[in-house]
């Protein structure tokens, strides 16, 4: 049986460089077997010139890219490989990673702030965020078509359950009722969601393009209006009918409300047209400026006389039943005259 070698890591006292000391027992003869093992010193980095006196460089013909250093009587093996072999013999093997342990503790709303909806469609943005999330935790192979391992391991099963849970938590209840299949893996559910947005492309694109062309701002804020218009454009791109940038900008301008139409005219006059993001930024700033009260605008009280109420037409009076009726009618007429003479105080805005 061959004697065992012992490796020890440390620092060279002369050069403060990391070293590996290899204790190999002598096996040349029986007479030398009882002697202490001879230490072999390996430098893990090229030492300075002052420490290279007892060492000779390894011949470059065997490994020209690396330089090892040996004792004066022998060439030693590669120190990096020797260190790796020594550490592998001591350290335990690394356990396989389990993405399910990380996926089970995350908050889906933190990584995926939107919910997948059928109308307006936001499948493109949801798919990009979801694949990014799985790629960060090393679980993208559960939805990209990678074959299921045979046999199925417990790590794969728990990770697949976690991916399914994330899918169901990030889609709308109406869509979940359409794609949920008991016992299906994450890849099957992923394909079912994709089919909801990819099947019947021509008819879906026709209906979606009509919504895209007829959208108007109306009472919506500009942020909500531009976001909805962009979601329609992304839905058309998912179906294979992308909308180019100038068409998107012109459609945005065409549906603006009256308060922002003057800015639309200014944007259309530019050559070339600005990008969609630039046009949205200009219109958002203009909307914010319109909501801000202008300096110098004051509020004053103006006294305006109140118009008397129209009198009802006269009709023949009923026969008097008591002597107190004329007196009550006179009191009512007096109260009406007093109310009509009172001025009305109203607040109007006066620009100085």
Half-sphere exposure for 224 (CA within 13 Å, toward CB): 7
**Mean pLDDT taken over the chain:** 74
Instruction: Quote the radius of gyration of the chain (alpha carbons, Å).
Output: 43
More confident residue, 201 or 325: 201
More confident residue, 159 or 20: 159
User: What average pLDDT does range 70-82 have in this prediction?
Assistant: 53
Query: Band of the pLDDT at 20, cuts 50, 70, 90?
Result: low
More confident residue, 336 or 84: 84
More confident residue, 99 or 8: 99
- Residue 335 confidence (pLDDT): 57
Domain ranges of the chain: 6-90, 100-198, 220-291
Q: Token digits for 173?
A: 């209840």
The Cα-based distances of 55 to 15, 18, 51, 71, 136 in angstroms read 14, 16, 8, 5, 48
pTM exceeds 0.75, yes or no = no
Residue 338 reports pLDDT greater than 70: no
Residue 304 reports pLDDT greater than 80: no
- Residue 216 confidence (pLDDT): 93
User: What average pLDDT does range 218-224 have in this prediction?
Assistant: 91
User: What average pLDDT does range 90-105 have in this prediction?
Assistant: 69
Query: Band of the pLDDT at 23, cuts 50, 70, 90?
Result: low
Question: Parallel, antiparallel, or unpaired for β 343-351 and 38-43?
Answer: unpaired
Residue 185 reports pLDDT greater than 70: yes
176-180, 223-227, 280-284, 310-314: segment of lowest average pLDDT: 310-314
Query: Band of the pLDDT at 104, cuts 50, 70, 90?
Result: confident
Residue 277 reports pLDDT greater than 90: yes
Residue 201 reports pLDDT greater than 60: yes
Query: Band of the pLDDT at 25, cuts 50, 70, 90?
Result: low
User: What average pLDDT does range 231-245 have in this prediction?
Assistant: 89
Residue 189 reports pLDDT greater than 90: yes
* pLDDT more than 70, % of the chain: 57
User: What average pLDDT does range 273-279 have in this prediction?
Assistant: 93
Query: Band of the pLDDT at 352, cuts 50, 70, 90?
Result: very low
**Highest mean pLDDT range out of 22-36, 38-52, 258-272?**
258-272
Residue 51 reports pLDDT greater than 90: no
């Amino acid at each position: 049986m061959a004697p065992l070698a012992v490796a020890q890591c440390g620092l060279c006292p002369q050069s403060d460089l990391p070293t590996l000391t290899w204790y190999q027992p002598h096996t040349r003869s029986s007479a030398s077997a009882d002697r202490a093992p001879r230490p072999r010193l390996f430098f893990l980095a090229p030492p300075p010139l002052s420490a290279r006196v007892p060492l000779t460089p390894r011949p470059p013909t065997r490994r020209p890219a690396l330089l090892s250093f040996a004792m004066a009587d022998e060439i030693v093996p590669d120190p990096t490989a020797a260190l790796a072999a020594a550490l592998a013999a001591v350290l335990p093997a690394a356990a396989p990673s389990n993405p399910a342990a990380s996926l089970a503790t995350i908050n889906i709303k933190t990584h995926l702030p939107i919910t997948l909806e059928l109308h307006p469609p936001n499948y493109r943005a949801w798919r990009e965020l979801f694949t990014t999330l799985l790629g960060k935790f090393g679980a993208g192979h559960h939805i990209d078509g990678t074959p299921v391992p045979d046999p199925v391991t417990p790590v794969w099963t728990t990770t697949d359950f976690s991916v399914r849970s994330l899918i169901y938590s990030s889609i709308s209840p109406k869509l979940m009722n359409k794609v949920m299949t008991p016992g299906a893996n994450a890849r099957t559910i992923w394909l079912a969601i994709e089919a909801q947005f990819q099947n019947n492309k021509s008819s879906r694109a026709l209906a979606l393009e009509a919504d895209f062309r007829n959208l108007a701002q109306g009472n919506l804020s500009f942020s909500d209006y531009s976001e909805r218009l962009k979601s329609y454009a992304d839905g058309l791109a998912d179906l294979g009918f992308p909308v180019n940038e100038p068409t998107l900008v012109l459609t945005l301008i065409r549906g603006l409300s009256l308060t922002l139409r003057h800015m639309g005219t200014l944007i259309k006059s530019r050559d070339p047209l600005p990008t969609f993001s630039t046009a949205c930024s200009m219109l958002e700033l203009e909307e914010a400026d319109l909501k801000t009260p202008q300096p110098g605008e004051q509020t004053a009280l103006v006294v305006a006389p109140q118009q008397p109420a129209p009198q009802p037409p006269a009709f023949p009076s009923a026969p008097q039943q008591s002597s107190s009726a004329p007196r009550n009618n006179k009191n009512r007429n007096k109260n009406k005259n007093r109310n009509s003479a009172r001025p009305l105080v109203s607040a109007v805005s006066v620009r100085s």
